[in-house]
Every structure is written in structure tokens, then in C-alpha cells.
């Protein structure tokens, strides 16, 4: 019962018709136009851009997502229309008074009754948007922290804090450039929406099919070819989508039934898809929305993050591929027949135009352009490529639908970012984040490995049932100060947290990606989650490796990087053989133990 509550339980998506459908489409087009005007053309203050963007998101959510499972699947209720109208009015109020945020002296300039009412209303609306799009866990955490902020001064040390009235809390959380309208929502506005729009265009232009064909050309000939194809294709698609759960639903709906049809055990088919999809959030050049949050929080350029993340991400997929290869030989999993393998000439003839937008977004990101400009530039190319891929009439229908669909896809990210802003604000206002960090620092003593392990566990716990952006933000607030004390470098520390925030999507007991795969495979999710963790065991070790071996992040000399890569390959290779119990032939128990011990010793002596 508890696990069911912790799982994301968003409201049902409505199949709108008539006037509500027109309103949502108009809101979608308005959002696209606003992002182009305010972000790409820099014609608006970032705070105003964020407020208007979130206002449009709220209106769409209340009209297109039901409040409960019993809500009308086709039409918004009177309450939904009231909430949408309230969102529009309160959004206009905050957009019109945003300039006053800059000139306010928080806690000295008292809030008026109108401001308290407007602040309370926007917080309530934001929490309801989060509940409908993400589920109750984030909302519950927000409410607990609000209560802690307002009543925490009654607690005993060390968790008590100074007196903070409800009005003070609103002042510090809503009427500021931090908190609700802070960095998380700014990132959703400035970066994430443009890339979601690009990802949708790419998918509707048959980009997923092209990725599958490319993966089949590379990996389809060997044992377990279909599983290897699934991992590679899911990773390629996942770097654009950035959401393990949506990636599992999108690609897994094809790959999981196909693997099961060919004799793969259902648990293995689901685990393969989960391992491949989850890692997509770590794979450059896009890396999902959390990487943009990392750039915003740390001030490290996105290019530096992408370059540093490249080798660890390739190491992860190489380790999963190698482990799958061992499993395929051990279980005698079938190859793809020659007739099923796409030819190079045919694949490129069908899909060569799709290479241009992918090359464009990669080049623009690596050239230092903002992710918003990179996503917009690649989307412009896709507008032309789509005509070639699906034809004029079909592509025009796609373009008419894409804006509304993009807003609906962005809604869970925006809801999670709004809640994360409230949570992080609540943690910092009261000093709770610093207190928790201090406890971890006292616990680990002088041991770097213990401190890293504690930070990893904290991140996995905070990520239970959470979207990746929220999990990373919470981890950065609580465990970030711990890693900052360890002199391991800000980039390595935050990338460490990002890895475990991403991996929380497949880590039991609340493995949200595994639950998505289980609904497709028709088996228990815990079996899939366990299989995915086993298959992706390297993901839990690689963050320790790049902290202990900075050369893995390409931030030292070439010689150091080569040594780091060599040692890392040995560690993940030994782990793969130990977990699978297979090398050139089946391993005995003592041989598996030796592989485990050797991998552990390599890690300990670094």
C-alpha cells in the first residue's frame, strides 16, 4: 500500500474535443510563441518569462488532465475551468508586478493582503498542477516542508529554527527570484521546453525508427542481437527525451513485446529496456533536463558538463552491452536473421535527412549556444526534414498537433520544477539542508568512500518516485554541501549526484521505470527492477570511478585519462563477469568471488 502511494500517480489525460481542445491548442501555440519571443529573442525579463510560461502550463494542465480517475475523460469540469481561469488571472498579476520582486527587501517590506492572497493562490495552484502531473509524493513533501517552515520553531534542537511566519514564508518563497519562480522553473522555461519540442518533432519524423535501424546495423548480428539493439536505440532516444519512464513507454512498447515473441524471458526483456532507457539521461549531447539544472546551479558551462560526461556514459553503455553479450551466450539468445537486418544503403536512403538535425543540435551545443537556441535551430531544420520523411499532408497535421502535445509533455517537468523550487527554498530558509549535510559529514569521518556512499544513498532515497530533475535538485541541496567539503571538484560532485538521481528511476523499491516496463511485459515490476539493477550494476560504480579518477572526466592529461579509462574498463569488466557468472565459459562460485574481490580492490586502492 505504501509503495503504491509512493509511485507517481498522475491524473488521467483527457481526450479533449470541441472548445476545450481548441483552447489547449491555442495555449500550446501561445507557449511556443512566448518561448520564442521571451527566451530565444530575449525580449522579456527572465522572471516574467518564467511566470508567463508556468501560467500557460497551469491552464493546459487543468483543462487536459483530470483531477481523479473518476474525472470526465473528455471534458473539463466546472472546477477545472475555475482553476484554469484562476491560474490565468494570478499569472497575469504576478507577471504585471514582477518588477517589484527586484526592489523588495524581503522580510522588511511587509506583504499586503492582496499579495498574501495571490501568493497563497499560486502556491496552491502549483501544488495541484504537480499532483495532477507527477503524483502526490512531491506535494506531500512540499506540505511537510511548509509546515516545518512555519511551525518548526516549536521543535527541539537540532531541528528547530527561528520564527518564520506564514507571510514571511510567502515573502521568501514566492515574492523572490528564488523559490517557486527560481532556477528550476527558469531552466524548464529557457532550456527544457525547446528540447521537448525538438524531441517530439524528431519522434514524429520517424526518428525512433531510424535509431532502431542504426542500432540493428551495429549490434543485430551477434547473440542476443535484439536486446543489444534495444539498449542502443533506447539510449539514443533517451538522450533526447531525458525521461526514463516516457522512454520505456515509447520504445519499450515496441522492443519488449518483440523480445518476448522471440523467446526472451519477460523479466529480461523489461530489464533490458529499463537499463537502456534510464542511461539515456546520462548520454550526451542532450542528457535530459537535469543536466541543464546542473549548469544553472553550478555555473559550469553546459559544454564542460557534456564533455566530462561523455566517457562515463560510453563506459556505462559499453558495460551493459558487454554484460548482455555474456548473458546472450550463456542463455543462447537468438541473433537477428540476415533478412531482419537493415542494410546500410537502405537505412541511409530512408533516414539520411534525420542526421542533419542531430548533427546541428550537437554542433550548436558544443559551440556554446544555449540549449534553447540549439533546440530551436535543430527544430527549424526538422521542420523541413519532416516533409521529406512523412510527406506534406501528414507533416502539416503533425505541426498542428505538436505545440499542444509539447506543452502536455512539458507539464510534468514544470510541475516537478515548481515543487522542487518550493522544497529547496524550504530547506535553505530554515537551514535544514546545512544541518542534514553536517550530520553526514560527522558520520563519514575522514573516509572519502563512506562520504560518497552516504551521498549516493541519500540521492537514491530522495529520488524514490521522483522525476529526475526533482531528485537531482533535492540531492544537490542536501548532499551537495557534503561533496563540496571533500575537495573532489564541483563538476565531479554534481555529476556524481546526477548519476544516482537518474539511477533512482530503476532502483527498487520505487523503480518507476521498472513499473512502466512491467505494465508492458505483464510481469511483477520488482523482478524487472532487480534484473535492471543487475544488468546496469556498472552505473552504481562508475560515479565512484570518475570521482577517484578525474582523468575519466577528461579534465587532466591525456596519459591520466588513458590510465583512468583502462582501470575503469577492468573494474566494470570484472563486475560484469562476476554478476553474470560467465567469461569464456561458465564461472565457478569461487571464480565469481575472485572477480568481485578484484574489482573491489581496484576501487579501494585508487
- pLDDT 10s digits, 416-435: 889 989 988 888 888 888 88
Instruction: Give a three-class secondary structure readout of 252-311.
Output: HHHHHHHHHHCCCCHHHHHHHHHHHHHHHHHCCCCCHHHHHHHHHHHCCCHHHHHHHHHH
Look at residue 174 in the predicted model and tell me its pLDDT.
92
The pLDDT of residue 462 is above 50: yes
User: What is the rounded distance in angstroms from the CA atom of residue 287 to the CA atom of residue 429?
Assistant: 30
- CA proximity to 247, closest of 221, 274, 272, 266: 274
Most confident of 111-115, 208-212, 421-425: 111-115
pLDDT above 80: residue 240? no
Q: How far apart are the first and last CA of the chain?
A: 43
Cell of 416: 516537478
State mean pLDDT over 548-569.
Answer: 92
Give the global pTM: 0.87
Lowest mean pLDDT among 53-62, 94-103, 181-190, 239-248: 239-248
Residue 13, φ and ψ in degrees, nearest 5: -75, 130
Across all residues in the chain, what is the average pLDDT?
87
- Cell numbers placing 386: 519532416
Domain residue extents for the chain:
2-154, 185-426, 429-511+522-604
Residue 479 φ then ψ, to 5° = -95, -20
Q: How far apart are CA 182 and CA 169, in angstroms?
A: 15
Instruction: Return the higher-pLDDT residue of 128 and 416.
Output: 128
| Residue 8 confidence (pLDDT) | 57
User: Which of 170, 169, 48, 58 is CA-nearest to residue 417?
Assistant: 58
Rounded Cα distance between 142 and 198, Å, is 31
Q: Among 250, 245, 235, which Cα is nearest to 200's?
A: 250
Phi and psi at 586, nearest 5°, equal -60, 140
pLDDT at 551 over 80: yes
38-59 mean pLDDT: 88
Going by C-alpha positions, the residue among 313, 178, 169, 146 that lies closest to residue 235 is: 313
Read off the pLDDT band of 371 (50, 70, 90): confident
For position 104, what pLDDT does the model report?
A: 79
* Mean local confidence (pLDDT), 256-279: 90
C-alpha cell at position 433? 539542508
Angle at which helices 288-298 and 225-241 pack, to 10 degrees?
A: 40
Higher local confidence (pLDDT), 254 or 552: 552
pLDDT at 502: 92
Q: Identify the sign of the CA torsion 9, 506, 247, 340.
A: negative
- Quickly count: other Cβ atoms within 10 Å of residue 197's Cβ: 26
DSSP, res 13: B
Phi, psi torsion values for 65, nearest 5 degrees: -120, 125
What kind and span of H or E run contains 542?
Answer: helix 542-548
Average confidence (pLDDT) over 112-131:
95
Distances (CA, A) of 186 to 181, 307, 606: 7, 24, 39
The predicted structure's pLDDT at residue 541: 96
Q: How far apart are CA 274 and CA 244, in angstroms?
A: 7
Between CA 280 and CA 285 the distance in angstroms is 10
Question: Cβ-count burial of 331 within 10 angstroms (0-12 exposed, 13-18 middle, 19+ buried)?
Answer: middle
Q: Quick one: three-class SS letters along 66-78?
A: CCCCCCCCCCCCH
C-alpha closest to that of 542 among 605, 495, 481, 582: 495
| Confidence label for 373 from pLDDT (cuts 50, 70 and 90) | confident
**Residues 458, 454: Cα–Cα separation, whole Å:** 6
> For residue 271, what pLDDT is reported?
93
Which band of pLDDT confidence, cut at 50, 70 and 90, is reported for residue 115? very high
Backbone φ and ψ for 582, nearest 5 degrees, come out as: -150, 140
Extract the C-alpha cell encoding 507: 532502483
Once rounded to an integer, what is the mean pLDDT over residues 4-20?
72
Degrees to nearest 5, angle at CA 338 with 335 and 339: 115
How many alpha carbons fall within 13 Å on the CB side of residue 274? Answer: 37
Q: In 10 A of CB 299, how many CB atoms?
A: 8
pLDDT of residue 312: 96
Mean pLDDT of 438-462: 82
> Alpha-carbon distance 103 to 99, whole Å?
7
Cell numbers for 517: 516496463
pLDDT for res 156: 86
With pLDDT > 70 as the criterion, what percentage of the chain qualifies?
A: 97
Beta-bridged to residue 586, according to DSSP, are 582
Residue 1 confidence (pLDDT) above 70: no
Q: What is the largest CA-CA distance in the chain?
A: 75
Question: Among candidates 1, 22, 3, 49, which has minimal Cα distance to 510?
Answer: 3
Amino acid at each position: 500500500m505504501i509503495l503504491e502511494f509512493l509511485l507517481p500517480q498522475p491524473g488521467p489525460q483527457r481526450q479533449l474535443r470541441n472548445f476545450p481542445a481548441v483552447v489547449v491548442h491555442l495555449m500550446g501555440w501561445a507557449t511556443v510563441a512566448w518561448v520564442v519571443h521571451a527566451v530565444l529573442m530575449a525580449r522579456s525579463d527572465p522572471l516574467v518569462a518564467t511566470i508567463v510560461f508556468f501560467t500557460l502550463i497551469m491552464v493546459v494542465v487543468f483543462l487536459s488532465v483530470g483531477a481523479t480517475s473518476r474525472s470526465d475523460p473528455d471534458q473539463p469540469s466546472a472546477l477545472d475551468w475555475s482553476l484554469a481561469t484562476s491560474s490565468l488571472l494570478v499569472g497575469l498579476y504576478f507577471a504585471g508586478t514582477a518588477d517589484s520582486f527586484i526592489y523588495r527587501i524581503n522580510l522588511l517590506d511587509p506583504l499586503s493582503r492582496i499579495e498574501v492572497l495571490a501568493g497563497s493562490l499560486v502556491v496552491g495552484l502549483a501544488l495541484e498542477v504537480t499532483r495532477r502531473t507527477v503524483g502526490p509524493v512531491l506535494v506531500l513533501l512540499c506540505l511537510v516542508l511548509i509546515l516545518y517552515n512555519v511551525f518548526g520553531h516549536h521543535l527541539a534542537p537540532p531541528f528547530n529554527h527561528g520564527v518564520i511566519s506564514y507571510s514571511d514564508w510567502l515573502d521568501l518563497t514566492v515574492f523572490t527570484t528564488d523559490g517557486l519562480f527560481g532556477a528550476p522553473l527558469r531552466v524548464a522555461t529557457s532550456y527544457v521546453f525547446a528540447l521537448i519540442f525538438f524531441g517530439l518533432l524528431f519522434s514524429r519524423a520517424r526518428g525512433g525508427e531510424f535509431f532502431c535501424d542504426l542500432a540493428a546495423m551495429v549490434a543485430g548480428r551477434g547473440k542476443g542481437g535484439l536486446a543489444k539493439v534495444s539498449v542502443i536505440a533506447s539510449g539514443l532516444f533517451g538522450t533526447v527525451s531525458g525521461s526514463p519512464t516516457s522512454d520505456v513507454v515509447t520504445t519499450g512498447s515496441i522492443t519488449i513485446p518483440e523480445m518476448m515473441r522471440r523467446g526472451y524471458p519477460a523479466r529480461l526483456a523489461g530489464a533490458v529496456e529499463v537499463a537502456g532507457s534510464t542511461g539515456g539521461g546520462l548520454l550526451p549531447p542532450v542528457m535530459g533536463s537535469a543536466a541543464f539544472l546542473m549548469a544553472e546551479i553550478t555555473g559550469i558551462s553546459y559544454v564542460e558538463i557534456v564533455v566530462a560526461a561523455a566517457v562515463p556514459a560510453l563506459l556505462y553503455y559499453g558495460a551493459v552491452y558487454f554484460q548482455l553479450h555474456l548473458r546472450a551466450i550463456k542463455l543462447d539468445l537468438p541473433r537477428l536473421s540476415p533478412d531482419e537486418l537493415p542494410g546500410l544503403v537502405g537505412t541511409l536512403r530512408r533516414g539520411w535527412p534525420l542526421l542533419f538535425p542531430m548533427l546541428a543540435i550537437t554542433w550548436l551545443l558544443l559551440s556554446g549556444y544555449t540549449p534553447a537556441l540549439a533546440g530551436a535551430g535543430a527544430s527549424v531544420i526538422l521542420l523541413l526534414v519532416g516533409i521529406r520523411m512523412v510527406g506534406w499532408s501528414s507533416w502539416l497535421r503533425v505541426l498542428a498537433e505538436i505545440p499542444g502535445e509539447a506543452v502536455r509533455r512539458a507539464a510534468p517537468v514544470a510541475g516537478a520544477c515548481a515543487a522542487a523550487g518550493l522544497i529547496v527554498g524550504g530547506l535553505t530558509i530554515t537551514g535544514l539542508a546545512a544541518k542534514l549535510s553536517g550530520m553526514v559529514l560527522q558520520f563519514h569521518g575522514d573516509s572519502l568512500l563512506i562520504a560518497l556512499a552516504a551521498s549516493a544513498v541519500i540521492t537514491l532515497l530522495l529520488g524514490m518516485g521522483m522525476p529526475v530533475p526533482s531528485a537531482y535538485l533535492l540531492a544537490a541541496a542536501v548532499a551537495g554541501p557534503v561533496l563540496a567539503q571533500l575537495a573532489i571538484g564541483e563538476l565531479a560532485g554534481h555529476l556524481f549526484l546526477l548519476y544516482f538521481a537518474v539511477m533512482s528511476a530503476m532502483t527498487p523499491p520505487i523503480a518507476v521505470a521498472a513499473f512502466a516496463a512491467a505494465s508492458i511485459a505483464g510481469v511483477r515490476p520488482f523482478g524487472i527492477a532487480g534484473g535492471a539493477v543487475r544488468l546496469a550494476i556498472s552505473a552504481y560504480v562508475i560515479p565512484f570511478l570518475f570521482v577517484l579518477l578525474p582523468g575519466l572526466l577528461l579534465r587532466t592529461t591525456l596519459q591520466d585519462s588513458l590510465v583512468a579509462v583502462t582501470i575503469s574498463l577492468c573494474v566494470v569488466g570484472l563486475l560484469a563477469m562476476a554478476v553474470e557468472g560467465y567469461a569464456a565459459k561458465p564461472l565457478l562460485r569461487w571464480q565469481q568471488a575472485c572477480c568481485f574481490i578484484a574489482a573491489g580492490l581496484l576501487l579501494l586502492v585508487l
